[in-house]
Amino acid sequence: MASGGKIDPMHQFEVQTIANGFNLGGQQIAFTNSAAWMLVTVVVLWLFMLGGMKRALVPGRWQMMVENFTGFIDNMLKANIGKDGRKYLPYVFSLFMFILFANLLGLLPLGLVGIHPFTFTSHFTVTGVLAIMSFSIVLIVGFFKHGLKFFSLFVPHGTPLWLIWLIPVIEFVSFMVRPFSLGLRLFVAMTAGHVLLKVLAGFVINSTNAGAGFGLGVGIPSFVLMIGISALEVLVAGIQAYVFALLTSLYINDAEHLH
């Protein structure tokens, strides 16, 4: 958004109402651009999986891509959780693919055709909910499988007796911070990248409007840097989805096996 020759890099994160919904407890529930792009992500992901689950005798590239993604997450769960990790494959795989597609769709240059992608993973409310979902599974698995013995997670094996009053407190605080750090990591990474791209786009536009000299000296280097940052953002989109899934599997491993 440009105002008085200035481009606001934070405008891209504004949640805007597309259609009024209904009242719930006195609060207006509306259909927003964030909800719209969540729906788009689900639809695109569903189409991707549908096209890759044909179970052909000789798999095509699409089917191989889906199978590779599935095998990748399956191997990660086996490495981090063991044989018990297979039962968490549907959740962790769905989590990984949803975040990956959300991140990638938000990077598409659809503004060229008048469509403005909304990266909802750049909102802590969204990443926080995903983190709470993973944290809830950890708590449910931990208490269901171990009962009150789950609290032994806060007392690592080999803890000296003279530190028994301190280590559990540190472990408990570290454990409770997990959902916050899990959601914050994804939110910060996606927000920072998009802000940087918007700032560079502002340099390109404003320097070009200022004249040929500024356009050559500032605009072209900024544009080249934008291309590099965009490529880096694609890599970050995949890495952040992987890190979220990886940490989720590690936390589930703690609930499955304790220390």
pLDDT in tens, 36-88: 999 999 999 999 998 777 776 677 888 889 989 999 999 999 999 998 899 99
Q: Tell me the pairing of strands 17-24 and 27-32.
A: antiparallel
Instruction: Tell me the backbone φ, ψ of residue 30, rounded to 5 degrees.
Output: -115, 160
Please check whether residue 89 is in contact with residue 74, taking contact to mean a CB–CB distance below 8 angstroms.
yes
Q: What confidence tens digit (pLDDT) does each residue in 3-29 have?
A: 445 667 777 888 888 877 766 666 777
pLDDT score of 142 more than 90: yes
**For the chain, how many residues are written?**
259
- The string of DSSP letters for 169-188 reads HHHHHHHHHHHHHHHHHHHH
Average pLDDT on 128-134 reads 96
Q: How many domains does the chain have?
A: 1
Q: Range of 92's domain? A: 2-257
Over range 229-233, report the average pLDDT. Answer: 90
pTM: 0.90
Which pLDDT score, from 0 to 100, does residue 214 have?
Answer: 67
Helix (H, G, I), strand (E, B) or coil at 17: strand
